[in-house]
Structure 1
Amino acid sequence: MFPRPSPRSCDTFVALPPAAAGGRVVFGKNSDRPADEVQEIVHVPAAAHPPGAALECTYIKIEQVEKTHAVVLSRPSWLWGAEMGANEHGVCIGNEAVWGREEICDDEALLGMDLVRLGLERADTAEKALTVIVDLLEKYGQGGNCMESHMAFTYHNSFLIADRKEAWVLETSGKYWAAEKVEGSITPEIMMEILRDKESGINMEGGFMTTGSMVSVLPQQPNLPCIHFFTGTPDPARSVFKPFIFVPNITQLLKTSSPTFGHDDPVKKQPRFQNKPDRRHELYKKHESAAVVMETIEGQGKEMLKEIQQLEKQKISEMESILQNGCLDINQMVNLFSQCVDEELKIYS
């Protein structure tokens, strides 16, 4: 029996009108995970599935539904689910680790991160996503190791679920749950600054640290696009929040997607986690080297940090223009996130 790590949790926020500037819902999360864990940004297109199809989640198989929505996910690269993400209908979900009096189950079931992805793939509103998660929780339960390690790290889950109109908090303990609708001037830039705050512990450092961050802007007007910003790299204070908009014909986000290992992946074999493969994607590798420069080489590091801050500021300005003017060139948006990744990589090279 391995000792359990000390409790750790993430930071997830939502601001609703009138608190959110521009009459928009603003959602944000820092994913605080083991410091050496790679978080990838992936896009999964909408899909139709044959009747009776099975879906392989991180540890167990469940029944697949006939249709799943397109999603963009920020996820630990070793598992099926996600720490946070959004779907094509403007639904955003992030989970938090919670501990309580109810015993935590080590038996393999659905991870809280699996439930995040399942809610996004199967629901077109926040309230429907809540129902999806609750139904799956009651049917399959939650459990299993939440870390790519021999050391057992298990917890219950809390979920923050938002869409263009409302937000819900869902607390769970085993198969028990309780939900509450969130009732209540913040901008995306302010949300990003909050997520970068190290003094408060929101931007965590050490053995557990912020390995990925997300901020979403959800305008109430259905004719305006929801805009989702992801870092895909550790430490938001030294990362770029890059914009993503759902449009047709988006291709896979190759430079933020980790390598796959199929049936040879140690997470798929029994006993699990006998070794740990290199899951770093291209952006992660370049950022890893750049972070050392920003930390240790004063002149060069300061200039590099200034350049990535300017890049982010430029992208935020461009996205604000889209929301203000309602002008969206779909052809340009297809590679919006990937082009920003390329610009970030150029700064690091």
Structure 2
Amino acid sequence: MTNGDCFVVLPENCAEGTLIIGRNAEDEKNVNIASEVCFYDATEVLEGKTDGGATAETGGDVLRVILQKPKPGLWGGDFGANERGVALGLTWAASENKARDSDSLLGTDIVRLTLAVAKDVDDAVDRIGALVASHGHDNSKMNFIACDAVAAWFVSCSGKVWAAEKLEASFLRLPSGGLAVTTVVNKSSEGLDDAASFAAAHDAEAQAPAEGWCGPKPAGDGTYTQHDMFETLRAASNASSSRAATVSVLSAKGISCHWFTGTPNAAESVFKPFVFAPKPRISPLTQVQADADLTLLHKLHSQRKPAALEHLRSLERSCVDELNNYFSLQDHASDELDELLKDCVEAEVKFYR
């Protein structure tokens, strides 16, 4: 299971009043295992057997979801977003191997099931709590970060008990490793002892303080952009452990956009955009095909020539500028963006062949 080194910037810092979250997936043992990017329509987001074995039940309207999977064969994901502008990531998980083949849910399941129905971040926090209370495994400890265009929350879980804290700082780095919620608890399981540290009470170390912000630092003047977050994740990446990276730019008034590398180490990769257009189509190059170990995007990326990255970074910057211009003129995504991610992935691959 991958962990995630996350960076969150609240709207007072960001251009156009957006909220921006970036995540580097981290896993020293499995850095070369493919990370898949998969899109699910509302008719298919609940199909299949969950990774933990519990039945994928949910109520309410079902939403479309874009999902990153930390390895092939998983039903759920470690990061994703839905068409209502909710983004959710798994930042840390422990002892989940004991939960397989039982009537429980893994962190990857909770990401997918929450995104399938959450209308906003408050709904997402409540949904995570309900899933943990009903299908949490006694040996499992997990940490999530949930965002929409207005707010960000941390949710820490131990067995069937959970606690959540709303982010008050205007920006924060949330490292992987340990439970994030300690003594500040804004929502929780019923009967939780608010006077105690949640992490200590559940025999888990709290997250160690981050080593500091990386890359461009939010200045509090509304100028922080998705490109700044790209550079932040690149500055924080580690060639020996950093896997696929993701950035979500969440907008309350306009179009939210989600960026995926689909390849390891943000410092050696480029970000490709996805929006919830009327009928999105993404490239099969971001999914592992039968009898393969890697996505074709990952495989070709690993064989790239050094000069390719410079050209691709130029295309990335142009893509950011063109989309920002589009978003400034439109408040919804038209069908001309249906194949946005597909086109960008296939343009990247041309530089590798």
Task: Identify the TM-score tier after normalising by the shorter chain.
Answer: 0.7 to 0.9
Tell me the equivalent position of 1:32.
Answer: 26
Equivalent residue letter for 2:302? E
1:160 aligns with 2:174: no
Pair 1:169–1:256, CA change in 2 (3 A):
same
Pair 1:128–1:173, CA change in 2 (3 A):
same
> Secondary structure at the residue paired with 1:341?
helix
Q: Which residue of 338, 342, 351 maps to 1:338?
A: 342
1:287 aligns with 2:272: no
Report the alpha carbon displacement of residue 90 of structure 1 after superposing the two structures with TM. Answer: 0.5
Give percent identity, aligned residues only.
Answer: 30
In structure 1, what is the Cα distance between the partners aligned to 2:270 and 2:47?
A: 37
Pair 1:170–1:329, CA change in 2 (3 A):
closer
Report the alpha carbon displacement of residue 54 of structure 1 after superposing the two structures with TM. Answer: 8.3
1:177 aligns with 2:162: yes
Equivalent residue letter for 1:161? A
Report the alpha carbon displacement of residue 204 of structure 1 after superposing the two structures with TM. Answer: 2.6
1:236 aligns with 2:274: no
In structure 1, what is the Cα distance between the partners aligned to 2:149 and 2:310?
A: 33
Equivalent residue letter for 1:330? S
In structure 2, what is the Cα distance between the partners aligned to 1:286 and 1:305?
A: 13
Q: Which residue of 114, 119, 123 maps to 1:119?
A: 114
In structure 2, what is the Cα distance between the partners aligned to 1:45 and 1:104?
A: 28
* Deviation sequence 1:251-283 (CA, Å, 0-9, x none): 3531111125xxxxxxxxxxxxxxxx6331221
Pair 1:338–1:105, CA change in 2 (3 A):
closer
> Secondary structure at the residue paired with 2:13?
coil
Tell me the equivalent position of 1:193.
Answer: 231
Q: Normalising by the residue count of structure 2, what TM-score does the alignment of the two structures yield?
A: 0.77
Residue range with higher mean Cα deviation, 324-333 or 308-317: 324-333
Correspondences of 1:292-331 after superposition (within 5 Å): 293=305, 301=306, 303-326=307-330, 330-331=334-335
Tell me the equivalent position of 1:18.
Answer: 12
Pair 1:83–1:343, CA change in 2 (3 A):
same
Pair 1:36–1:220, CA change in 2 (3 A):
same
Report the alpha carbon displacement of residue 74 of structure 1 after superposing the two structures with TM. Answer: 1.0
Equivalent pairs, count: 293
In structure 2, what is the Cα distance between the partners aligned to 1:23 and 1:284?
A: 34
Contact 1:105/1:174 (<8 A) preserved: no
Contact 1:54/1:64 (<8 A) preserved: no
> Secondary structure at the residue paired with 1:59?
coil
Contact 1:54/1:61 (<8 A) preserved: no
Equivalent residue letter for 1:190? D
> Secondary structure at the residue paired with 1:311?
helix
Pair 1:347–1:203, CA change in 2 (3 A):
same
1:59 aligns with 2:63: no
Report the alpha carbon displacement of residue 307 of structure 1 after superposing the two structures with TM. Answer: 0.4
* Deviation sequence 1:301-343 (CA, Å, 0-9, x none): 1x21210101111111112112222276623200000000111
Tell me the equivalent position of 2:37.
Answer: 41
In structure 2, what is the Cα distance between the partners aligned to 1:335 and 1:54?
A: 23
Tell me the equivalent position of 1:271.
Answer: none
Unaligned runs of 5+ in 2: 171-217, 219-223
Equivalent residue letter for 1:61? A
> Secondary structure at the residue paired with 1:132?
helix
> Secondary structure at the residue paired with 1:177?
strand
Hey, which bits of structure 1, 4+ residues long, moved more than 6 A? none
Contact 1:160/1:169 (<8 A) preserved: yes
Unaligned runs of 5+ in 1: 1-6, 144-153, 261-276, 294-300
Tell me the equivalent position of 1:267.
Answer: none
Q: Which residue of 237, 251, 273 maps to 1:219?
A: 251
In structure 2, what is the Cα distance between the partners aligned to 1:283 and 1:104?
A: 29
Tell me the equivalent position of 1:107.
Answer: 99
Equivalent residue letter for 1:249? K
Pair 1:106–1:227, CA change in 2 (3 A):
same
> Secondary structure at the residue paired with 1:128?
helix
Contact 1:191/1:215 (<8 A) preserved: yes
